[in-house]
Amino acid sequence: MASVNGPGPMSDVAMDAIRETSEGAVSLVAVYGATAFDLFHVGESVRESFGSRDELVAHLSDLAEETRREFMERGLFSGLSPVQNSVEYRFEERDDHGVLQVYCGGRGMLLFVDTDEPVEPLVRTASNLLGGM
């Protein structure tokens, strides 16, 4: 089935690349575009921390929208040109995992990883998968 986000990384290719790059456990992998996201992997710990799939989807939708808005506004106001070619990321610790959000080419990738995970290699991998630099 084709993704509503248009052509993007295939789930198995993305998961292989992320697993090869990651030093620790990856609890969640989602790719999002302008209007929707595709869940590539949801680990047991993430499933257990949300009461239902609907709660998880709502939470991820909020994170994706927040990231899109932040990175697009920053790109527009900082004079980045063109915004589509820039690679932006943010890493923060939430609860018992790290949340890595990578945005480039009008798409984003959301990863839940160990809090001590080196993020730069994952940013490069996610960027390549999203078609960035």
Structure tokens at 101: 């959000």
Q: 3-state class of 104 per DSSP?
A: strand
Give me the CATH code for the 11-130 domain, please.
3.30.450.30
What is the residue-level pLDDT of the chain in tens, covering all 133 positions?
344 445 567 889 999 999 999 999 999 999 887 777 788 999 998 888 888 889 988 888 887 777 767 766 655 444 444 444 577 888 999 878 899 988 887 788 999 999 999 999 999 999 999 885 4
Angle at 14 between CA 106 and CA 68, to 5 degrees: 25
| Backbone dihedral angles phi then psi of residue 118, each to the nearest 5 degrees | -65, 120
CA distances from 46 to 7, 32, 38, 92, 122 (A): 27, 18, 16, 16, 19
Name the pTM for this structure.
Answer: 0.79
